A and B are shown apart, each in its own frame.
Chain A
């Protein structure tokens, strides 16, 4: 069956393309309802991207919520796989208060989740899917990749308590070295105590340029294993077209209560916010009494609106059977001769 490209709206078009991509890589569709018990979100408030949740009392008296998040529901509903591996994709609407927006908005996100026996190979595959997702949207993208355990180990080397740790992590996410130095000074640390951490945050760029420095720094600070893991996972991109679009960048952070290991964010030129966000969330699995490990990401389709408006549908048909390696939906034609 063929679907004419021009009868789909922008989000549908992009959504179909990504679903096709995940399906072709062996991921199964996970469907869910729009409601979930509010308790799930109240217990994991910090995990949500938005502070607000739309709630209502169901006919049986239970307090329900319109889903503000997809991952929590999947974690709650999928059983532990032990030695197996569950590979899922979804395309769902969620209800959030967006950054800087007044009131709730309905947002569409497409993503994948892997749960079960997760090793470097699966993490690498998820990272590859993230890169392919960005490539399917546009030609000008960057996927920044970090290792939260490595970052945490370096932060723990200077932080005296949990509050100081949180403040330093926030500064790391802001690429704010002067803020980190200020926090260390206030805490009475010896001058230069934060030097190794600042060096780690100051190196960012394609792996071939920065990994040697990251490895050296990590070895010197007793966390070489994390750097080796990071290096092995991103090595899969060496020599590919994506090699220079994958950036090691330790400002890609996450709340250690939920996230660990590899974390990443995807950016497209001209779109101010990350359009893709993901990583490992074994810590969330433990909080929800799950034994499996997990890794995944989400693509935020609402954030692509600017891109779709600037580069409208070509009017060509998109076959469901078309290969996932097709050209980006974005600005290819427009960019020719633009520079």
Chain B
């Protein structure tokens, strides 16, 4: 099988990616080399017709949209924020968390004032408050969002909440859930046409995992 005919899969580095690989392997796309402890990032099993590569979770959608990967697994948060031109084929039902608005426990919102919102997810925040007609000032941060309200940089934050422990430890609480988040199987629109058989075989194998 030539390199072109392998199904290229972008996996998100980390625990989620490892879980996704297990699901894919169970679905018939095994690649045992990926489990070896090495610094390699690309692994292939020509017998199974698959090539995996580890990428930063937020980059998976870029690899897929640009066609470097035929398929990949990305969080719904990334898909909502960047709106890549990809197919969103399945909700894998793993990596569940939620996109939420959080604020200091004693914060009282003044509707007459512009709300200052710190977030990594500017589009999601803008769409959410835009749908309510609320005037906001977005403060785009790349990490440690939780400290923004503590230091007076923002009134609230919009961020991913999994267990809520980090919020609690920083004296914040969830005020609103914007949208539930989970891992999605995505595909390049062109790749889907030409690797259809393999992608459909994978989806059939994942049937129980997704919904």
A101 to B18, alpha carbons, bound, how many Å?
32
- Please judge, given known A-B contacts A100-B65, A178-B211, A339-B2, whether A269 and B190 are in contact too, CB under 8 Å: yes
| Residue of A with least CB distance to B87 | A175
Label chain B's interface by main secondary structure.
mixed
- A273 proximal to B (CB < 8 A): yes
- A274 proximal to B (CB < 8 A): yes
Most buried by A among B85, B89, B193, B210: B193
| Residue of A with least CB distance to B91 | A178
Do B190 and A272 touch across chains, with their CB atoms under 8 A apart?
A: yes
Instruction: Select one of A140, A174, A271, A273 contacting B88, CB under 8 A.
Output: A174
* 1/0 contact string of A235-278 vs chain B (CB within 8 Å): 00000000000010001000000000000000111111110000
Instruction: Select one of A100, A268, A339 contacting B5, CB under 8 A.
Output: A339
- B67 proximal to A (CB < 8 A): yes
- A144 proximal to B (CB < 8 A): yes
Do A338 and B211 touch across chains, with their CB atoms under 8 A apart?
A: no
Instruction: Select one of A171, A174, A251, A273 contacting B190, CB under 8 A.
Output: A273
Do B88 and A175 touch across chains, with their CB atoms under 8 A apart?
A: yes
- B86 proximal to A (CB < 8 A): yes
| Residue of A with least CB distance to B195 | A269
* Residues 139-157 of A at the B interface (beta carbon under 8 Å): 140, 142, 144
- Taking the closest CB of chain A, its distance from the CB of B110, in whole angstroms, is 29
Instruction: Select one of B67, B85, B91, B187 contacting A270, CB under 8 A.
Output: B67
| Residue of A with least CB distance to B196 | A205
- Please judge, given known A-B contacts A270-B4, A270-B67, A338-B2, whether A176 and B88 are in contact too, CB under 8 Å: yes
Which residues of A are found within 8 Å of B91, using beta-carbon distances?
Answer: 178
A269 to B187, alpha carbons, bound, how many Å?
14
Interface residues on B, range: 20 to 34
A272 to B84, alpha carbons, bound, how many Å?
12
Do B5 and A174 touch across chains, with their CB atoms under 8 A apart?
A: no
Do B193 and A247 touch across chains, with their CB atoms under 8 A apart?
A: yes
- A179 proximal to B (CB < 8 A): yes
- B90 proximal to A (CB < 8 A): yes
- B123 proximal to A (CB < 8 A): no
Which residues of B are found within 8 Å of A100, using beta-carbon distances?
Answer: 62, 65-66
A272 to B189, alpha carbons, bound, how many Å?
7
- A99 proximal to B (CB < 8 A): yes
- Please judge, given known A-B contacts A142-B193, A247-B193, A339-B5, whether A272 and B88 are in contact too, CB under 8 Å: no
Do B191 and A272 touch across chains, with their CB atoms under 8 A apart?
A: yes
Which residues of A are found within 8 Å of B107, using beta-carbon distances?
Answer: none
* Residues 118-149 of A at the B interface (beta carbon under 8 Å): 140, 142, 144
| Residue of A with least CB distance to B187 | A175
A273 to B2, alpha carbons, bound, how many Å?
22
* 1/0 contact string of B194-211 vs chain A (CB within 8 Å): 100000000000000011
- Please judge, given known A-B contacts A270-B67, A271-B67, A272-B66, whether A176 and B190 are in contact too, CB under 8 Å: no
- Taking the closest CB of chain B, its distance from the CB of A300, in whole angstroms, is 13
- Taking the closest CB of chain B, its distance from the CB of A173, in whole angstroms, is 9
Which residues of B are found within 8 Å of A175, using beta-carbon distances?
Answer: 87-89, 187, 192
Which residues of A are found within 8 Å of B4, using beta-carbon distances?
Answer: 270, 338-339
Do A142 and B85 touch across chains, with their CB atoms under 8 A apart?
A: no
- B188 proximal to A (CB < 8 A): yes
Instruction: Select one of A271, A272, A274 contacting B65, CB under 8 A.
Output: A272
Question: Which residues of A are interface residues toward B (Cβ below 8 A)?
Answer: 99-100, 140, 142, 144, 171, 174-176, 178-179, 247, 251, 267-274, 338-339
Given contacts A140-B194, A171-B88, A272-B65, 10 further A-B contacts (CB under 8 A): A142-B194, A175-B89, A175-B187, A179-B88, A267-B190, A269-B193, A269-B194, A270-B67, A338-B4, A339-B2
- Nearest 7 interchain pairs by C-beta: A272-B67, A176-B88, A175-B87, A178-B91, A142-B193, A267-B190, A269-B194
Could you give 9 example pairs across A and B, Cβ below 8 Å? A100-B62, A100-B66, A140-B194, A175-B88, A176-B89, A268-B190, A269-B193, A270-B67, A339-B1
